[in-house]
Structure formats: structure tokens, C-alpha cells
Structure 1
Amino acid sequence: MPAITAVLGDITTQQVDAVVNAANNGMRGGGGVDGAIHRAGGPAVLRDCIARFPNGLATGDAGWTTAGEMPATWVIHTVGPNFAAGERDRSLLVSCYRRALEVADELGAQSIAFPLISAGVYAWPLDDAVAAAVDTIASSSTGVDDVRIVAFSPRVHDAVERTLDQRSAR
């Protein structure tokens, strides 16, 4: 099981092999984490998205690009379900974490930083979003040994820490 840490901060500044982008299906940038990653990575991230994902990416799937100007080597893009738009199949959210870790293994990544997928503008309920992330990562058979769940807000960070504390108390 990989070590999972809650981090309060900016995912684009994490010193890891790969950062995970909560992307949209079009794979051309957007708001929230997606916009922050494209701004921090610079035009190389978008160029790679266009080249590698000409038809976008399906919800629940993942793929990689360069990280451009960020300290990470790769961005692993995954498209979470949009709860606010009626996409409420939890298996798609779980698939985002599972597929991102599979891509990380294909790349040989040892460290990865995740945002809390679908919990922002896509409005997945916070407690379930945290549970899906922690349970999926913790039960994954991956070669990644350093997993960070990076939260930009103290509220999300505290929710992740609480869940990690509860899991370690079992």
C-alpha cells in the first residue's frame, strides 16, 4: 500500500514525478485544477493534449502528457464524473484514481500528487469524494510509494486528514 499524505497547498508546485489533473472530456484546459495546471505547465501541456488526445478522453479514463514548466515530469489527466450534471456513477470516480495509478505505473512514477477529483465544480459530495480517493488509493496494488492528496482549501484538506486518521486507527 502506498503512503498517502494530505497536503494543503498548490498541486502545481509539488515536487513529485506526476501530478494528476482533474480534466474535462475535451482535454483543452478549463477552470479549477485543470486551468491551474495548464497555466503553470505552459503551452507544452496543451500542445501535448492536442497531440495525444485529439478526440478528448472518456470519463473515468486517464492518460499522460508532459508537465511542461512544472517541477513534476508528467501530468496524468483524468476525467471525473460531473455530479452536478447528473453523472453519479461512483465507479467512474473510482476508475479515475485506479486508472491514474495504472498510468503512473506505466511511466515508472514513484510519487504522485492528486487533487480531490470531481469535488470542485463537478460537485461530488465531499465526504464521498474523499472516501473514494482514499479507499481506492489505499487498496491499489501500485509501484507508486508516495501519494499526496493536495487540497487548495483548508476545508478539503481537513476532510482528507480526518479520513486518513480514521483509516489508520482501524
Structure 2
Amino acid sequence: MKINGNEIKPGNVLQHQETLWAVVKVEHVKPGKGGAFAQVEMKNLIDGRKLNERFRSADKVERVRLEQKDFQYLYPQEDMLVFMNTETYEQIELQADFVGERAAFLQDGMMVTLEMHEERPIGITLPQYVTLEITEADAVVKGQTQSSSYKPAMLENGVRVMVPPFITAGEKIIVDTELVEYVRRAD
């Protein structure tokens, strides 16, 4: 759907220069001389590069709506990750690089949301929180208080996080997958 240059908002996905861009930041500028324009910072959804572009209110840009579909993570296969569409039971394989470092948080049967454009995956959203077991945690330093500092710990998936001193190996904790940090003890 076409929108005017002054209607662009952060979070929009635009078709520009024959590729897809996510709008990161928009600044409306009204110079003393000349017409007003929107200074738009965008990130390429395919290769991650950034672009700063000016759009006047008369400029028309194509706003794209991404389709969101639920998929279930099945298993890793070499450098690929296999997911299944929960409605059609159709399986797709994605490069592990597509998910990035957060691939370490994928668990068998985990539900994820894929953002699709013309049946092509553009982005992936994992659950915000996952429960994982601590495999090793540094010993508490004598005199260290609960509020003073955190200590490093290794999770069962090989990721290191900082945890409070009272957390020990063998305990299950809840981890934020976006920030990759300790949230709380699991019940």
C-alpha cells in the first residue's frame, strides 16, 4: 500500500530500491528554506545494512505488511534449522545464521513466529523467556552480598550469563532470549 513520505513511522517495513527496509528512526525536519521532509533511518531486512533517506511529503513509498506465521522448531540438521508450519505441517529449513546467536535458545517443540514476505522468511521471533538449567556456576566469594554483584554461570545450551550469587549448578533459571540475561529462578 502506498503512503506519503510524511506518514512513515518507526517499525514500518518499506519496499525501497527493490528490497525491504525496516524503519528504525524518523525525524521530521522543517528547514527555514525549502519544504519539510522526513529524515528516515532504515535497516535492510535481507543483508542488515543501514540507509539514511529523505522523503518529502509528496513522495510516495510502498509500505509492506509482513505475514506472521507460527512454526514449531523440530531439530538442527548440519548448518540448517528445521521448522514446521503448525497449520499445514509443511517443513522449512533455515540457515542457522538467519536466527543468529539466539539459535542456542531453540528447544525441541518450541513455538516461534516467522515474519514472511511473499512466502519468504524475513524475521524470526523466539519466546521472550526460556527455562534452562545451570551446568556450572562459580563459587560465591566470601563477603559478597546478594545485591553487590553477579557471577558468571554456564547454561545447559553453552551460553554464559551473569546470575546472582545464590544460584548454584543444577538449578533451573528463566533467561530473557532478547537480552540474554538472568530473569529469575524457575519454579
Greater C-alpha Rg:
2
Higher strand proportion, which one? 2
Higher helix proportion, which one? 1
Higher relative contact order (CA 8 A, sep 6+): 1
